[in-house]
Amino acid sequence: MIECSDLVWRAGGFVLGPLTCRIEPGCTAIIGPNGSGKSSLLSLISGSLHPAEGMILLNGMRQDRQRPRAMAGLVALAPQMLTPPPGLTLADFVTLGRYRFSGGWGYGMYASHTSRAAVRQALEEVSLAHKAETELAVLSGGEQRLAILARALVQEAVWTLLDEPAGFLDYAHNAALHGLLSRVKARGRNLVLVTHDADFAAAIADRILCLRNGRIVYQGEGRDAARPDILRPIFETDFETTAEGRILPSWPVNIQET
Amino acid sequence: MKARHFLWPALPLVLIGAVFAGSTAVSAGDIIRGLTGSGDAAAQAALRTVLDFRLPVILQAFFVGGLLSICGAALQAVLQNPLAEPYILGTSSGAAFGVSLAGAVGLAPFFWPRTALSFICALAASALVIASGWRRGRGLSPLALILGGVVIGAFLSAATVAVQSLLTPFEFRNTIGLLLGGFRVLPTEEILLTLLPAGLAGLVILLRAPLLDILSTGITSARSLGLAAGRELALIVFLVTLVTALTVPLAGIIGFVGLIAPHLMRLGGRTRHTRLLPAAFAAGGLVTVIADAIAREAASLGQLPAGAVTAILGAPLFIILLRRYGGMHDRM
């Protein structure tokens, strides 16, 4: 379980929190409009940002007291985007996720059989095995996105945090991502994903946590949360539920006056 | 065909070829006759020229160039900046300032105090440049880092000239040798005292190659993979500064080698640091040996330092790289 208590983080004029929440094992989606603090919350949980006040417990342990390697075993972060390092192939890049299993100098991540097998499997899962030896920097934005996801998966952490996993993905890749996350979930991996897409969140997550202006404004179980009356005030736009049970913004998008 | 594939065959060819560059002409026949002891006085003289003058300089050039090249490759990885290099980041100028300071207070003849001053000033320059490129919450800005390096480098070069000008005109002539370095015949002891610790520092960087792969994805990313990234970054900057601080008193500033060699080796794409660093070492050594050979060939026209040759070759490459990468992560 991830427990945040009285968490406050400030940047410029923006204040996240004070925020108290519990994220249960399973798959949790954090949704909210742009600038609501979703990605900041994810960065705080992963330890790449430090809170001004409050603290985070990961499975009962103080997050800020973890050594980097222990932390990498607790939390794997798939950020929205990375500057692709020059020269590294896709397979090399994904292999870096295995660092926590190797010795201190990192040679094990390239050499070990388990590591190589895990990388191969992750690349197959994101349907990029045929590009394993291609330089990461020349892959498309969507493919780089999947590479980051694959790297987080081979890290095999207790919690895998995904920042906008569907960003940059076309329809086919989006469907593939959906399948992949469902399989990962079924294998018992705990996921926390940040998205502004309520429909995507509702389809994949067990629980939904809604942020607005740095505060939690709603928490609920998966499908139940994805109701027009709940989403309307959060996103300030009308939603409707389709016949297939999908929740989509009404078209044309009607921005409500506030 | 990749640049790497030409590297290893070129290595012995260039090293042997460099023996023949210089104002005194030596012939291969004379050297062989001198070596076998069957030659006349001319053969003996040729052999002495090679053993006493050419080889020490070639070996210095090879190791200094190779080590600076490893340093460049490592800085490019940890700072996520394809333009990083000890000279461009002002570290070399810091070391040169330290050496001139040592001269000003009469410490120039003493190896350790001189090296210590060189190291302190180089470290201060590195720290200042990195601090000037640091943006709170956003990490290192690649362009601010380069600008900081250029400005602090220019300041320290001017300060070096100022300090030197306070000394005798004879000492002042050494300023050029410091700012645009070159290789001289020096006591073996001094060469070993410099190259052994610098070589060790280079070896540590070389052995940490997989960690450079991790750091090249960025500090935040490296930390999330389980690496104590801040500590590792500090260690690499420390080692690079150490290598620079040791080599500058020996050979002066040899700029741009750390840029030319790693990028030549990256031309083929696909390069983990475990493969890049040894190749960059050899390539940096070769580039510097060639620059030194050109400098010695041209010496009959006057004094041309090897550092001037590397700068003349390296500056256009810097512009090409700046055009290629400059806009990519421009987030000042």
Is-contact A92 A124, C-beta < 8 A?
no
Domain ranges, ordered by start, for chain B: 57-325
| Count of beta carbons in the 10 Å neighbourhood of residue B188 | 9
Residue A225 has pLDDT above 50, yes or no: yes
Instruction: Report percent pLDDT > 70 for chain A.
Output: 97
Residue B330: per-residue pLDDT: 43
Q: How far is B310 from chain A (nearest CA, A)?
A: 24
User: Cα separation of B169 and B160, whole Å?
Assistant: 14
Nearest chain A alpha carbon to B270: A87
On whether any CB of chain A is under 8 Å from the CB of B211, the answer is: yes
DSSP H/E element including B28: helix B28-36
What's the average model confidence in pLDDT over A126-145?
90
Q: How far is B229 from chain A (nearest CA, A)?
A: 9
SS (H, E, C) A48-82: CCCCCEEEEEECCEEHHHCCHHHHHHHEEEECCCC
Of residues B82, B137, B207, nearest to A86 (C-beta): B82
Residues in chain B within 8 Å Cβ distance of A147:
none
On whether any CB of chain A is under 8 Å from the CB of B321, the answer is: no
What's the average model confidence in pLDDT over A124-144?
90
Interface mutation vs chain B, best among A10, A58, A63, A83, most B CBs within 10 Å:
A83
Residue B73: per-residue pLDDT: 95
What's the average model confidence in pLDDT over A213-235?
80
Of residues A69, A83, A135, nearest to B218 (C-beta): A83
- Inter-chain contact A83–B208, Cβ cutoff 8 Å? no
Interface mutation vs chain A, best among B136, B138, B217, most A CBs within 10 Å:
B217
User: Cα separation of A128 and A107, whole Å?
Assistant: 24
Evaluate the CA torsion angle A125, A130, A136, A140 in order and state its sign: negative
Q: Which of A251, A166, A230 minimizes the C-alpha distance to A32?
A: A230
Higher-pLDDT residue of A135 and B25 is: A135
By residue count, chain A amounts to: 258
Q: How far is A124 from chain B (nearest CA, A)?
A: 21
On whether any CB of chain A is under 8 Å from the CB of B220, the answer is: yes
Is-contact B138 B80, C-beta < 8 A?
no
Of residues A47, A82, A110, nearest to B217 (C-beta): A82
Interface mutation vs chain A, best among B80, B213, B220, B224, most A CBs within 10 Å:
B224
| Count of beta carbons in the 10 Å neighbourhood of residue B319 | 11
Residues in chain B within 8 Å Cβ distance of A83:
80, 217-218, 328-329
Give the residue numbers in A contacting B (CB under 8 Å), as ranges.
11, 46-49, 67-69, 71-73, 75-77, 79, 82-83, 85-89, 92-93, 96-97, 99-100, 102, 105-107, 109-110, 133, 135, 155
What's the average model confidence in pLDDT over A220-246?
77
Is-contact A151 A94, C-beta < 8 A?
yes
Q: How far is A77 from chain B (nearest CA, A)?
A: 6
Among left, alpha and beta (phi > 0; psi -120 to 50; other), residue B80 is left
Say whether B270 sits in a helix, a strand or coil: coil
Residues in chain A within 8 Å Cβ distance of B266:
86-87
User: Cα separation of A146 and A127, whole Å?
Assistant: 9
Please give the CATH number for the structural domain made up of A2-249.
3.40.50.300
Task: Write out pLDDT tens, residues B215-269.
Answer: 999 888 999 999 998 889 989 999 999 999 999 999 989 988 998 899 888 875 5
Q: Which of A205, A248, A208 minimizes the C-alpha distance to A228?
A: A248
- Inter-chain contact B271–A87, Cβ cutoff 8 Å? yes
Residues in chain B within 8 Å Cβ distance of A118:
none
Interface A-B: count of C-beta contacts within 8 A: 90
- The stretches in chain B having pLDDT less than 50 are 327-332
Residue A152: per-residue pLDDT: 95
Residues in chain A within 8 Å Cβ distance of B221:
79, 82
Query: What are the Cα distances from residue A56, in Å, to A60, A214, A254, B167?
Result: 9, 16, 38, 61
Residue B302: per-residue pLDDT: 61
Of residues A46, A87, A110, nearest to B224 (C-beta): A46
Please enumerate in sequence order all residues whose Cβ is within 8 A of that of B64, keeping only pairs 6 or more positions apart, or say none: B183, B195, B198, B247, B250, B251, B254, B288
Looking up tokens 């470290």 gives B123
User: Cα separation of B121 and B115, whole Å?
Assistant: 10
N- to C-terminal Cα separation, chain A? 37
Residue A118: per-residue pLDDT: 94
User: Which of these CATH numbers, 1.10.3470.10, 3.40.1190.10, 3.20.20.140, 3.30.1360.200, describes B57-325?
Assistant: 1.10.3470.10
User: Cα separation of B289 and A216, whole Å?
Assistant: 64
Looking up tokens 């004379």 gives B30
Residue B171: per-residue pLDDT: 65
Of residues A48, A83, A105, nearest to B80 (C-beta): A83
Of residues A106, A135, A155, nearest to B270 (C-beta): A135
Of residues A46, A69, A89, nearest to B270 (C-beta): A89
Residue A148 has pLDDT above 90, yes or no: yes
On whether any CB of chain A is under 8 Å from the CB of B81, the answer is: no
- Inter-chain contact B208–A105, Cβ cutoff 8 Å? yes
User: Cα separation of A125 and B293, whole Å?
Assistant: 54
What's the average model confidence in pLDDT over A159-169?
88
Say whether B238 sits in a helix, a strand or coil: helix
On whether any CB of chain A is under 8 Å from the CB of B269, the answer is: yes
Phi, psi of A104 (to 5 degrees): -60, -30
